[in-house]
Chains A and B, each alone.
Chain A
Amino acid sequence: MGIDVTVKIGGEAGQGIQTVGELLARACYQSGLYLMAVNDFESRIRGGHSFMQLRISDRPVMAPDHRVHLLIALNERTLQTHRSEIAEGGRVLFDSEAGGSDQSVLHVPVTKLAREAGGRIMANTVAAGACLAMLGAPDKALEQVLRQRFGDKKTGVLENNLKAAKSGVEAVAGVSFDWAFQWPDKAPAGKLLSGARVLALGALAAECRFAAFYPMSPATDVMVNLSGFETQLPLVVEQAEGEIAAVNMVIGASFAGVRAMTATSGGGFALMSEGLGLAGITETPIVIINSQRPGPATGLPTRTAQADLRFMLHAAQDDFPRFILAPGSLESAFETMVRAFALADKHQVPVIVATDQYFNDSLAIADKTLEVPEHVDRHIVGDADMEDPAAYKRFVFTDSGVSPRALPCNGRALVMVSGNEHQEDGHISERISDRIGQMDKRQRKFEGMQKEMRAPETVYPDSRVLLVGWGSTAGMIRESVEMLRDGGVDAGAVCFTDIWPFPETEVTEILDRCQRFYMVEQNATAQLGWLIRERTGRKFAQAVLKYDGRPFFPLEIADKVKACEEVS
């Protein structure tokens, strides 16, 4: 068995749990380990109960583990809430001056030590130092991270942090810990990134030049990450006066010629519905990231869900073509963003990229290099491409349904666009021939769009039972399949990224090879399961559903599938 250890850090919001987590994550990353850090926090700035779960391994990990080997409790509540999760041989490091450590709970006066090192604020560093020492990390692992993080701060900050780290290390000197491991001394594996950051990087690689947004968890971080590049690239990120403004600004910018996107969550996506339809009827390419969280209405603002699939499929009135893509890993999210912009331009349609809180807020390692495409094809025409620019018609009927797209004020061709039904030149029209003609033209795009769709990724596709899911749960589903196989169940996984237009033939082929399939989704009704039923006629045997706002653990999925298998 290789290394597979989970550290959980819990406390109140505002205590800097994320900072401890990040220090630990960076220290692991720099030593060449793999990791995944999942954030669990309440919708409040101070108080309450938050935690971060850090899974450390010598192999790539893309799911949280249900077992906790080392719990860092910055308050009593963490101790009480999570004590039961401690794995055999696991320990708790509890911030307490009381002393009296027992077998599992180790009292370490973290806050006191921090004060001695120069201030309460350094409690994070003390905790990180103690935690890493228990895990058997060399002192330099944290030192290096602290130097990077505080090296350019004013004098004293770095020194105090080094002192704090040291006192943390010393506080646990001689403590034995069953889950300590031999730390590698390797170069970092890939890149340490959050889902939100990788989505922003993907947009950059796709030559996105304009983004408008209205703050909403868990989508805001995508925009925060994007705006970090504003001063270095031809890029403008604008905080709009609301989501309706955001999507309409994006449409305006795209109409004028730049690639543009927005990111939001369910409530904001609801407000964007009319704009989505406007992009549909005006055939304006746009990209919308919908970072899902549980609903309806405000729901659980800082938690995770995959419950907007039906909504994304049907948002806005009447029919028009759209893409829905749901990446399942960091690398896939980067590539999906690049593809989203390319597909939007090529087919002149809106593209929705579905992610969620779990994906956006988690940190993990992207193994492959994130490659910027050599060419960006804008599919835009100018006067030179036209026989007679004065006769240009934006919505001319074509076999593919895609009409040559010119830009306004970019030559002699006049670009006339209306969200009302229109004739070929863009002027409003209620003539039956125009209505039918334009509607059919737009619907014809589906054929070309369908050809772009990729089959879901499969693992052990020839298994007796298949576990089927979409988007961010890919990592958990894959791991649960390994658990099932270890337990003697012949199981495989089917993970969707391309959802709409639905890849019917490919999916039917995959599903027809198994005896039965189970849906694994973070919603209450198996939304993808019923979509599969609708598009292929194939019906899932059972569904493993979770809609409490917390991400799946692989064991949870495996246990449920196993239980179903035992009765069937």
Chain B
Amino acid sequence: MVEAADYQCDFENKWCPGCGNFGIVNAMKDALAALDLPPEKVLLVSGIGQAAKTPHFLKCNFFHGLHGRALAVATGAKIANHDIPVLVNMGDGDCYGEGGNHFLAAIRRNIDVTLLVHDNRVYGLTKGQASPTSDRGFVTRIQAEGARSDPMNPVALALSQGAGFVARGYCGSKEQLGDLIRQGLEYPGFSLIDILQVCVSFNHVNTYDWYRERVFDINGNGHQPGDLQAAMKYAHPEGGRIPTGLIYRKETVPFTQRIPRLNAGPLLGQKYDRDKVQGLIQGA
């Protein structure tokens, strides 16, 4: 039996005390333990930012790449070896800003990875600029008059693009979040979990208190994740309340199953027949 403690890693943590990322990393450990997956059987891929440092703070295989590009790396790794469970950690700026196009493409491909967006609605690592999910008017040192653009709604966007697994989590609801991550990993296809994450250093609007008053669980309250219309409604928070939980889930065909050759097993393990290649080249 794998336990959350097996994911314990002694590399020095570099987040601010009280950061919402701690809740996320703990929920990840719970989810991986619940699936009985040992650290050596999991791959974490991340971009750049505070969120993207996550793989360093739990024991696992990881590829910590470039700002915005984690989904592309994860896609390549998954195509090469689709037996590997892949978790992707990105920030809101990382995923929805710099990496926005890869986010759309990941949904279209339905690449079988679980994407955790640590959505703190601010650029943490670069010290507090507005992010794609910051509210209009969000004041920062550089946006002194407040952010001029409207925030994007990643959950609604994912739903509108046909994503098969869309969830909204909260860093302060560890149990629910762990469960969502577990379900995301189990889901055959692309799964998005947009995680409302508190940044104690640079986001003084969306604080623990602010969220505590607003978040509520939809799955315990009868929401059927197969209901797209209800999902769309929950995608758009209203009346000052923020729905969390598994918002939408449908059966889909994951990307690697759309490639007939991969039915024979992971690309990495397949036999490369030299004589056959020589024959093909001869006949070319």
Mark contacts of A249-270 with chain B using CB atoms, 8 A cut-off: 1 yes-contact digit, 0 otherwise: 1111111111010000000000
Nearest chain-B residue to A422 (Cβ)? B64
Whether B274 contacts A236 by the Cβ 8 Å rule is no
Is B156 interfacial (CB 8 A cutoff)?
A: no
Which residues, 264 to 284 on B, are CB-close (under 8 Å) to A?
A: 264, 267-268, 270-272, 274, 276-278, 280-282, 284
Is B19 interfacial (CB 8 A cutoff)?
A: no
Which residues, 51 to 108 on B, are CB-close (under 8 Å) to A?
A: 53, 55-56, 59-66, 68-69, 72-81, 83-84, 101-102, 104-105
Whether A409 contacts B267 by the Cβ 8 Å rule is no
Q: Which residues of A contact B41 (CB under 8 A)?
A: 409
Complex CA–CA separation, A61 to B146 (angstroms): 67
Contact of B281 among A205, A230, A246, A416 (CB under 8 A): A205
Task: Report the interface size class on chain B.
Answer: 35 or more
Is B40 interfacial (CB 8 A cutoff)?
A: yes
Complex CA–CA separation, A257 to B69 (angstroms): 19
Complex CA–CA separation, A370 to B276 (angstroms): 13
Is A8 interfacial (CB 8 A cutoff)?
A: no
Whether A245 contacts B259 by the Cβ 8 Å rule is no
Complex CA–CA separation, A413 to B40 (angstroms): 7
Mark contacts of B29-41 with chain A using CB atoms, 8 A cut-off: 1 yes-contact digit, 0 otherwise: 0000000000111
Nearest chain-B residue to A250 (Cβ)? B76
Whether A197 contacts B284 by the Cβ 8 Å rule is yes
Do A201 and B284 form a contact, CB below 8 Å, given A234-B267, A256-B81, A414-B60? yes
Do A245 and B267 form a contact, CB below 8 Å, given A210-B80, A409-B40, A427-B11? no
Whether B65 contacts A278 by the Cβ 8 Å rule is yes
Complex CA–CA separation, A107 to B79 (angstroms): 57
Whether B64 contacts A252 by the Cβ 8 Å rule is no
Whether B101 contacts A252 by the Cβ 8 Å rule is no
Q: Which residues of A contact B65 (CB under 8 A)?
A: 248, 251, 278, 282, 419
Whether A414 contacts B74 by the Cβ 8 Å rule is no
Is B4 interfacial (CB 8 A cutoff)?
A: no
Which residues, 476 to 496 on A, are CB-close (under 8 Å) to B?
A: none
Mark contacts of A181-201 with chain B using CB atoms, 8 A cut-off: 1 yes-contact digit, 0 otherwise: 000000000010100010001
Nearest chain-B residue to A207 (Cβ)? B272
Whether A234 contacts B270 by the Cβ 8 Å rule is yes
Q: Which residues of A contact B277 (CB under 8 A)?
A: 204-205, 207, 233, 372
Is B193 interfacial (CB 8 A cutoff)?
A: no
Whether B79 contacts A236 by the Cβ 8 Å rule is yes
Do A252 and B272 form a contact, CB below 8 Å, given A241-B101, A414-B60? no
Q: Which residues of A contact B276 (CB under 8 A)?
A: 232-233
- Minimal beta-carbon separation of A353 from chain B (angstroms): 18
Q: Which residues of B contact A255 (CB under 8 A)?
A: 63, 73, 76-77
Q: Which residues of A contact B264 (CB under 8 A)?
A: 234
Complex CA–CA separation, A338 to B17 (angstroms): 51
- A: number of interface residues (CB 8 Å): 63
Is A312 interfacial (CB 8 A cutoff)?
A: no
Whether B43 contacts A408 by the Cβ 8 Å rule is yes
Whether B105 contacts A411 by the Cβ 8 Å rule is no
Contact of A414 among B61, B76, B81, B270 (CB under 8 A): B61
Whether A370 contacts B281 by the Cβ 8 Å rule is yes
Complex CA–CA separation, A18 to B48 (angstroms): 47
- Minimal beta-carbon separation of A214 from chain B (angstroms): 11
Do A282 and B63 form a contact, CB below 8 Å, given A204-B280, A205-B281, A409-B81? yes
Is B262 interfacial (CB 8 A cutoff)?
A: yes
- Minimal beta-carbon separation of A443 from chain B (angstroms): 22
Is B45 interfacial (CB 8 A cutoff)?
A: yes
Q: Which residues of B contact A231 (CB under 8 A)?
A: 260-261
Q: Which residues of A contact B232 (CB under 8 A)?
A: none
- Minimal beta-carbon separation of B194 from chain A (angstroms): 20
Nearest chain-B residue to A334 (Cβ)? B281
Q: Which residues of A contact B74 (CB under 8 A)?
A: 252
Which 10 residue pairs of A and B lie closest in terms of their CB atoms, listed nearest first? A252-B76, A248-B72, A249-B76, A252-B73, A234-B270, A253-B76, A256-B80, A408-B61, A241-B105, A256-B77
| CB<8 Å pairs between A and B, sample of 17 | A207-B277, A231-B261, A234-B270, A238-B75, A238-B79, A241-B105, A245-B102, A248-B73, A252-B73, A253-B77, A278-B66, A282-B63, A371-B278, A374-B274, A407-B268, A416-B56, A416-B62
Can you add 18 more A-B contacts, CB < 8 Å, to A408-B63, A417-B62? A205-B278, A231-B260, A232-B276, A234-B261, A236-B262, A248-B73, A249-B79, A252-B75, A252-B76, A255-B76, A258-B268, A372-B274, A408-B77, A412-B40, A413-B40, A414-B40, A414-B60, A417-B63
